Amino acid sequence: MSMTSRDNKISHLLARNVEQVIERKHLESALHGAKKLRVKLGIDPTGEKIHIGRAVILWKLREFQELGHEIILIIGDFTAQIGDPSDKLEKRPFLGKEQVAKNLKNYLPQIGMILDLKKTEVRYNSEWLAKLNFREIGELAELFTFQQILERRNFRERWEKHQEISYREGMYALMQGYDSVAIKADVELGGTDQLFNLMAGRKIQERYGQKPQDVMITSMLLGLDGRKMSTSWGNVINIADAPDEQFGKVMSMHDDMILGYFRAVTKLSDVEMESYKKELKSDANPRDIKLILAREIVALYHGKAAAEKAQERWERVFSKKEIHAADIPELKLKSKKISVVDLVLASGVAKSKSEARRLVGQGAVSVNGVVEKDPVKTLSFGGGEVAKVGKKNFFRVA
């Protein structure tokens, strides 16, 4: 890698989707140096799927990885049971080991869609947190006060509303901070809601005689409902969602979210993004720019060919503008494989099998614009497909 190329990559790493860097000059100097940095990210398996909001940080880790640094991915199998309260205005549930194990089942294959797992040190924080005794936990707790905990926005709001705040939640930052000690982190990444936890890591490292880690805060991505994207809230686009589902979800978002998504979750250059910004400010139809965004996101995780096919299927359904994508209700199926007649029954449009068969026979049932006339044919769904039953009843398969 040429010096100019490396300098450009470092500049991009420090700027794109980065809100704040603690000890920026120190980190920038280290990035230009010869030492391989140990770059940490902790991720709690609170759900079975990883959404593209979390992927913002994973792609940033990939940038560190491509510069030759050591990536330490900490899977919070222990902290997931405790629950990070950082973005929550109510007490999180205490997850059991069984639920965490279930959530973990497909975590690494999803992360492998972004990181090179062969060059990633994967650790589970139960390895060290489960071994801490009460004395050691007490020494960690001594570093922080209740006043500091209550200064956090979400805790303060819950306190003022006389809502419960458990000791367990207040201890989360101690555990995340101790993770940095256990793996001797030089840098830790996190979203804007993680600043307290990441700074706690610096303080705890000093307590154990280590140099405090630099901290990189990445931009947060809004979910489909305009709030922070969160598995708990269900307003997500998952990186392993089927191409049609990813494409349809992007097309359903508000137009004013387009530019933010271009910057956060695509690989487009600043020049390309600026051109789309100018188009949106002129007479361009936001729908056309959103099509480009949806195609970029699907291509990133499923390839260019899959993105083009997803767009073809979406346009086949919506080309006549019979219904707006955002208005389509979800249809939750008990099985991903279902007969055409049972799909009609599940939609609620038909109340009996005979009525469902009649609709199928009339050619009134289609999936992604393809008419299905065989009532006993088995359909396979990955999620995100648009089914039409009758003249005006559209459903997005969940």
Q: Which of 218, 252, 267 lies at the terminal end of a domain, its last residue?
A: 218
Residue 40: closest CA among 172, 136, 173, 182: 182
Are 291 and 382 in a shared domain? Answer: no
- Confidence tier at 37 by pLDDT (50, 70, 90): very high
Of 306, 327, 348, the domain-final residue? 327
Together in a domain, 212 and 261: no
Q: In terms of domains, do 350 and 317 share one?
A: no
Lowest model confidence (mean pLDDT) among 155-159, 169-173, 341-345, 351-355: 155-159
Co-location of 366 and 354 in the same domain? yes
- What percent of the chain clears pLDDT 70, i.e. is strictly above it? 90
* Domain span holding position 255: 243-327
Classify the phi-psi angles of 111: left when phi > 0, otherwise alpha if psi is within -120 to 50, otherwise beta.
alpha
| pTM passes above 0.85 | no
Q: Are residue 212 and residue 312 in the same domain, yes or no?
A: no
Cα 305 versus chain centre, distance: 23
> What pLDDT score was predicted for residue 350?
86
- At 118, which amino acid appears? K
Q: What is the CATH number of the domain that holds 28?
A: 3.40.50.620
> 147: Cβ–Cβ under 8 A, 6 or more apart, which residues?
none
Q: Residue 34 is encoded by which pair of tokens? A: 């010869």
CA dist., res. 262 & res. 198, Å (int): 27
How confident is the model over 216-228, as a mean pLDDT? 88
Contact present, 237 and 314 (Cβ < 8 Å): no
Are residue 282 and residue 360 in the same domain, yes or no? no
C-alpha to C-alpha distance for 89 and 158, rounded to whole angstroms: 6
Task: Examine the domain organization and report whether 317 and 337 are in the same domain.
Answer: no
Average pLDDT over residues 252-280: 92
Residue that has been written with the tokens 């207040």 in this structure: 170
Strand partners, 228: 222
Boundary residue ending a domain (303, 327, 351): 327
pLDDT at 88 > cutoff 90: no
- Give how far the C-alpha of residue 71 lies from the chain's centroid of Cα atoms, to the nearest Å: 19
Residue 86: what pLDDT? 47
- The arithmetic mean of pLDDT across residues 250-272, rounded, is 91
User: Is 116 found in the same domain as 8?
Assistant: yes
Q: Is 146 exposed, middle or buried (0-12, 13-18, 19+ CB in 10 A)?
A: exposed
Kindly state whether residues 93 and 130 are assigned to the same domain: yes
- The pLDDT of residue 54 is above 70: yes
78, 191: one domain: yes
Q: How far apart are CA 103 and CA 346, in angstroms?
A: 28
Residues 26 and 169 in one domain: yes
> 103 in helix, strand or coil?
helix
Based on the domain organization, do 99 and 134 belong to the same domain? yes
**In a domain? residue 228:** no
Q: Look at the chain and report how many structural domains it folds into.
A: 3
CB environment 284-321: b (16+ within 10 A), e (fewer): eeeeebbbbbbbbbbbbbbeeebbebbbebbeebbeee
